[in-house]
Structure formats: structure tokens, C-alpha cells
Structure 1
Amino acid sequence: MISLCYFFTQGVHAALTIEITEGTESALPVAVVPFAAGGAPVDISAIVNADLQRSGYFKMMDQTAMSSRPATLQEVNFKDWQAANQNYMVVGKVTGNGAQYDVQFQLLDVYKSGQMLGYRMASSSADLRRTAHHISDLIFEKLTGKKGAFSGRIAYITSSGHNAHQLQVADADGFNPQTVTSSVEPLMSPSWSHDGKRIAYVSFERKSAAIYVQTLANGQRERVAEFPGINGAPAWSPDGTRLALTLSKDGSPDIYVLNLASRSLLKLTKGFSIDTEPSWSPDGSSIVYTSDKGGKPQLYLISSQGGAEKRLTFSGSYNARGSFSPDGKYLTMVHGNGNSYRIGLMDMASRSISVLTSGPSDESPSFAPNGSMILYASKKGGTGFLSAVSIDGKMQQKLVFNSGEVREPAWSP
């Protein structure tokens, strides 16, 4: 393993800094040449460089070591870049009038002396950062064969003392943090709709638990569940029409499915056990949840229409907070033995579990939309922070927030 570190310089615009604590020895050398900027207010090439570096897959060339700064394929002397031991390079330029910009870039194979990828796209001034992340996604997919996740967003809960709780959403690199809602009472369990337009969450603002659905574009929100007792752990169905949730209105906590249009409830589990933390399979046919019906928390699977449940986990004394990868091939979870809680990954074909993190207080795992990374919460010295780990465990990141405690991360679809 190798250790890498990258810190954002524009701290006033970022909610966090990202430290790559472990990368891969086979990182590909890539040079992102500073784009000919044309007066653009955002340094697109710097964002692309940062995105690719923090993925852990690439070894980025220091811009101060570049002997030239070509903006197009025709300006490149490939022998110079071969001598610098670069496998790939990115060149580009930005032109515009202050409101609208034309962004061009090319991904080049240094040793084949040719273009692998080239795009030209229009962007408003406000969308230049989003355009940069889109470029990073395109480059990442071309070089790795995996979809990029740089254009995504993350939701999380921050707390600074007993009187300040916020649900926030930020870009995947920590920039553009926006407060969705705030409360002097606790906020919990943010969950993204699969179109990325709404978030469901739990709020205690009325002195008891209630589940809300909030539209991000206009801030409109609706209270969808406030039954006596527990109202918790909302999870969106893939089609966005239903929420799986935990309710204790009939006694013990059980898993229900709420139809958001009709407000009808379907009760999936019954008995005296604690059933909680539901999460849908990608095709919407089943729900994984945590139950202590076997004596200690383990993961179970049940049809989203109801029926008999099936126990999934047997290894370890504690398995909870399960959620599927976007392709349904894996299930991430909190895997515990004794007083150590780490992030585990189950291969759904073999049912074997691999442990990805070192603990001892890791929780709330959430897959990246491309399925390559898992975002999770951890604690050290009583302070909560976020981390991310690749599904093979080789790449790890620590997300350090500027202030306060952060927990319960959720990566947008």
C-alpha cells in the first residue's frame, strides 16, 4: 500500500477535506495539464486533477514539473511526456463571455501518441464545477472501465453541541454544502430517492420521531409518518413510490412499506423481535433488514410484498445496517465481534463476508453510485467523522470536516 494526501485549498467553499490514507501500488501515471482558462472563474483542470487523485487509481503529475502546457492534441510533443513517464494526459481549454462557457478537453494516450477521448460541452458559470466533475467521470470510466462517481452528492448529519443539528448535502468532493434542514432536536437517517431529487429523514422537532420527505429543489417537505412510538429508518423503493420504514405502533418495532400516494401501510414482519433498518434490493423485489429474532442482530431478507424471511448472515455476533450495491452483487453491513464494529462486505453469490475496515467504531455504510466505494461513519476519540473504502479494501479515504461532528452519510444515486 502507498499513502497519499490531498487537501482542498478553497476551504471557505468546502465542508470537508479529503485525505487519501491508502491507495494502490498500480496507480496509473496521469498528467492533467492546466487548461487554457479564458477567464473562467473555476479552475476546471484543478478539479479534474483532484477528483482523479482522490480516487486512488491514479498517480497525478505535479504541474510544476510540466515542461510545457499544451491545450490541444496538436500542441503536444509526446516524446516529452514519455520521458516524464506519463501513461496518459488530459489537455483542454475554456472560452466564454462570463455567463456561458465552452469547455473542451481531450484524453490522450502518451505512448500511442493519440486521442482516447474528446468532448466539447457548454456550461454556465454556475455549473462549471459540475462540468468538471462530469469530465472526471468520463475520464475515470475510459481508463478503468468503471463508471465515475465524482458528479454525485453526499448527505450527512452534523452536530455541534446539543442545540445544533443539521442535515446537509454537498458535492462528493465536499464543496457547495447546503443545509436541507436544521433543528435543535435530533435529525437521523437521511435516505435519497433514486432520482436524487428528494430526501427522507427522521426528525424529533415535534419532541417525538416523525419521518419527513423533502424536495431539494424548492425545500418543500411533507410529514409522511408520525405514528405512536418509533418512526424510523426510512428507505426509498427504486421506483420512488414507496418507503420502507420501522414502526412500533403495534407494539414491537416491525418493518412496514408505506405507499406515498395512498398512504397505505403494508406490514412485512411480525413478532416480538426488534426489526429495523430496511433497505431495498436494486430491483425492488426484496428488502434486507436487521433483526434480533435469533438472539443477536443479524441480517434477514424478505419479499417487499411480504412472506417468509430468510436469514442472510451467520458469521460474527453482530451484523446490521445492510444495503445492496447498485448491481445487487454485494451487501455491505456493520460487522461486529465483541466491542469492535467494522464495515463488512458480503458476496451475494457465495455468502462469504470480507471485512474492509479496522474499526473499532465504524457504522452507517453507503455505496457510491458506481458501486466501487463505500462511504461510512467512524469515531476516534469520541469525535465522529466520515471515511470511504473501496470494495476490495485497497483504497481508503478520510473525510475531515471543518467543524462539528458528522455521522450517517448517504451517497446519492
Structure 2
Amino acid sequence: MPRRRALGLVSSLPLLGVPATGAWAQFRVEVAGVGLTRFPFSAVNFRGNDAASENIAAIVRADLERSGQFVFVPPLNGSFDETSRPDLAPWRERGADSVLTGSVTRLADGRFDVRFRLWDSVRTADLGGQSLPSTPANLRVAAHKVADYVYEKLTGEKGVFSTRIAYVSKAGNTHRLWVADADGENAQAAFTSNEPIISPSWAPNGTQLAYVSFEKRKAEIVTHEVATGRRRVLASFRGSNSAPAWSPDGRQVVAALTLSGNAQLYAIDAGGGEPRRLSQSGSIDTEPVFSPDGKQIYFVSDRGGSPQIYRMPAAGGSAQRVTFTGNYNISPALSPDGRWLAFISRINGAFRLHVMDLASGNVTALTETGGDESPSFAPNSRMIIYATRDKGAEALMTTTVDGRIKTRLAGAQGDIREPEWGPYLR
């Protein structure tokens, strides 16, 4: 079974302002595979960008290419910004269906003003633009927001480049909970420990994480405010407290507790209090996750003799089995649009990522690797992040739901595990 890591307490630091240092500070992005349709686009270097620490156009290009839905066309020579009205015919002849221009201006208060405009070179249309004031430290966020704008204008779907991911690392005896941009860059340690940390889960408003900490030499569920670093123990009941999952309204956390001896599902108010038992079985029930509408809970149980995925009403009640392909299915993840169920299935001893179309029940294997774990959907339901072993090393990967496009966010040495894709910030 894929390993579930855990972490304990050495220090707890506020996320904001903590520098990302050493081998874990940056990821290298590698894209494999192509989609059936890709939008050819071009982006010129933003005027005035030399005064900034981040190359806005380069980040936008990397974001769009990583989605697998865009292909970059080298820009024409010349100076362009958001105020220019370029002759789009030469861009169209070069094969660029859209063109992004912009500027970066340092303001008197030390901030930057990132401005951009998007052009449709096929229809010769102005697709609009924005002004994004930014601190020097948040220039990458501004660039991701530019990419989100371009993505939405050209695909009709909301972009996820300005969202965040959380994951866990282990290097030697040091365990860390990280929060990073969706591309894996700008990683900052939210929590550092000499004991394990497992199962990070984002609150639906994107401001908190719940996770399991072993800092007191037992499994406790802790909630953690990402911006301030403030932590609070939510569940430290008798036995084990594990696998937290937030309800879509953020009012409660469902977790696997061993109050009755075997792991069962319980609901706990997000503000704390006594747990309310939801599942009633003599087996092990764990890894709960809510359906997007909050009406059902999917979870893993061995009540049928081997681990399978079931669902039951969110208030508790009788459970229905969901997975029937294979005899070992774990780690359910629901897409935010409610269409897909991602999970890990053991096939001939290999743990591989699969996805089920919930309407039809059809199951598709998305990978050919053997150590996949912890799938989590992007908030637009278009991609899945997961941990795996790739090229002999542990890594974070993303894949499109059809499995055609995969991205490797490859770190340096050590374990990289338990990724969780954060929601859109509210």
C-alpha cells in the first residue's frame, strides 16, 4: 500500500515571509504528451520588466504550456506594451492565434503595476486586459493571474495558475509541510518538525489546512492558518485521529477516529467539540472525502474483505460500494464539478492512478507507473496532482483527466508526498 507519511514539531513559522531555501525551494517542470487541440499563442517581453525580479511573460508562457492546451509561438521583433495596437496580420501569418503584450512599472511606494492586454489575431479583436498592482514578493502571483486571464478568455474555463498546492517532504529526520504556487515554485515551509505529518487537507476558503501531526507521539488532527502560522489541535481523542476532510461549507471536518477500537468516520465541528459518529461497521473505515454538494461522503472500507471505495449520506447511514474493478482501491478524490472520482488501484502489485466517470461508472487508468498515491483535483476539475515514483525518484506529477498530458514537478533529494491542490481563494 502507498506509504502515508506523518510529521511532528520542531518549529512552526508563519508562511508569509518565510524564504524558500535549499533543495526544496524550486521545482523543475517537465511536460510530457500533447493534447488533441492546442491554442497557438505568443507573448512579448513586458516593457520595463528588467526592473523586476520575475519575468512576467516567461511565467505566463510556462503556465499555459504546462496546461497542455497551449503551444508557444516566438514573438515578432519590436516593442509592444498594453497601450500598443499591433498589426496582427504578421502574427497571424506566423501562426499565433493570440498575442499578449504588457508592461511592468515600479510605483513610488515600491510596488509594481503589472498591466497587460490580450489580442485575438484571427478575429483582429481586443480581448481586454487588466492592471495588477503587486509587491515585489508577489510578482509571481501577478503573473499567474495574467495566465488565468488568458486561459479563461481563450478556453472559456477558469484558470488555476494562481491557486496553491500543499505537500509534505522528508529529508533525513526533518519533516516539512510546504505551500507552493500551483507550478511548484515559490515553495514556503508552513511547518517544520522532527516527527511525521500526514494527510494535509485544504479548507474550502483556502485559508487553512488540516493535517495529522505526531509531535506529541500520537496522531492528532491540527488546523493551521496559512497566513499567520497559528495552529490549533482539533482532534486528540483516545486512540488514533487521522484522515481529516473539510465539508464544502467549511463548518465541519470528517475524520477517521479509533474511539470504538477500529477506525470509523466521525464529524467534528470546525470550531472543536465532541465527535459525532457517522459510520457503523466492524471494519476499518477511513480516507473520507465529501462530494462537492456536501450531500455524500466517499470513503475507503475493507468491509467487503478488501479495501474498496464506498459512499454514504453525509449525515451517516447505509453505504453503497462504488468501485468494483480490481480488489484493492484506495485514496478517493472527487472533482469539484462532481463528474469524476480519482483513486489509486493496485494492479499486479503496482499502485496506479485511475479515474471513474461517476455517471457511467467507466474506469480509466491514467498512468503506467507503479507507486502512485494521494490524487487531488485542480479546482477547475481539469487536472489531477499526485505523488509517484518517476525515473527512479519520488516526485509530484500532474495529469489531465484524460491522461494525455503529464507534468513532472521534480524536486531534489528526499521524499515528496501527500500533495493537495488548494481551492480558488474566496
User: What TM-score do the two structures reach when normalised by structure 2?
Assistant: 0.90
| 1:261 has 2:271 as partner | yes
CA–CA separation in structure 2 for the residues paired with 1:69 and 1:371 = 38
Q: How many residues align?
A: 401
Q: Is the 8 A contact 1:156 1:407 kept in 2?
A: yes
> CA distance change for structure 1 residues 380 and 35 in 2, over 3 Å: closer, same or farther?
closer
The alpha-carbon distance between structure 1 residues 377 and 231, as it changes in their structure 2 partners (threshold 3 A), is same
Cα 1:320–1:115, aligned 2, differ >3 Å: closer, same or farther? Answer: same
**Aligned 1:244-283 pairs, distance under 5 A:** 244-283=254-293
1:140 and 2:151 aligned: yes
Alignment of 1:2-401 (within 5 A): 14-37=25-48, 39-62=51-74, 66-72=76-82, 74-97=84-107, 99-161=110-172, 163-380=173-390, 383-401=393-411
Question: How many angstroms does 1:229 deviate by?
Answer: 2.2
Is the 8 Å Cα contact of residues 25 and 188 (structure 2) preserved in structure 1? no
Q: 362-371 or 54-63: which moved more?
A: 54-63
| Counterpart secondary structure, 1:106 | strand
Q: Which amino acid aligns with 1:373?
A: M
**Amino acid in the other structure paired with 2:366:** L
How far apart, in 1, do the equivalents of 2:46 and 2:393 lie? 40
Indicate how the Cα distance of structure 1 residues 382 and 92 shifts in structure 2: closer, same or farther if over 3 A, else same.
Answer: closer
Whether the aligned pair in 2 keeps the contact of 1:137 and 1:149 (CA below 8 Å) is: yes
Structure 1 residues 26, 381: closer, same or farther in 2, change over 3 A? closer
The 8 Å contact of residues 369 and 390 in structure 2, kept in 1 or not, is answered as: no
Q: Tell me the distance in 2 between the aligned counterparts of 1:250 and 1:25.
A: 51
Gaps of 5+ in 2: 1-20
Q: Which amino acid aligns with 2:62?
A: A
Q: Residue deviations 1:67-100, cap 9 Å, x none?
A: 3242246442223212311111101112223613
* Aligned-partner residue type, residue 174 of structure 2: A
**For residues 313 and 180 of structure 1, do their structure 2 counterparts lie closer, same or farther at Cα, with a shift above 3 Å needed?**
same
Structure 1 window deviating more from structure 2 (400-409 vs 382-391): it is 382-391
8 Å Cα contact 2:24-2:412 kept in structure 1: no
- Kept after mapping to 1: 8 A contact 2:73/2:95: no
- What stretches of structure 1 move > 4 A for 4+ residues in a row? 10-14
Alpha-carbon separation, structure 2, partners of 1:282 and 1:122: 33
CA contact (8 A) 1:229 1:247 kept: yes
CA distance in 1, matches of 2:416, 2:334: 23
Q: Which amino acid aligns with 1:52?
A: L
Q: How far is the alpha carbon of 1:11 from its aligned partner?
A: 9.5
Question: Relative to structure 2, which stretch is displaced further, 148-157 or 260-269?
Answer: 260-269
Q: Give, as a single letter, the amino acid of the residue that structure 2 aligns with 1:378.
A: T
Residues 211/262 of structure 1: CA separation in 2 closer, same or farther (3 Å cut): closer
The CA distance in 2 between the partners of 1:133 and 1:96, in whole Å, is: 19
Structure 1: give runs of 5+ residues left out of the alignment.
Answer: 1-9
Amino acid of the structure 2 residue aligned with 1:106: R
Distance 2:391 2:94 in 1: 43
> CA, structure 1 residues 262+341, in 2 after alignment: closer, same or farther (shift >3 Å)?
closer
Q: What is the CA distance between 1:117 and its match in structure 2?
A: 2.6
- How has the CA–CA distance of structure 1 residues 174 and 224 changed in structure 2, closer, same or farther, with 3 Å as cutoff? same
Q: Which amino acid aligns with 2:41?
A: V
Is residue 73–residue 115 contact of structure 1 (8 Å, CA) maintained in 2? no
Distance across 2 between alignment mates of 1:28 and 1:308: 47
RMSD of aligned residue pairs (Cα, Å): 1.9
1:48-83 residue CA offsets vs partner (Å, 9 max, x unmatched): 1111111111111235xx332422464422232123
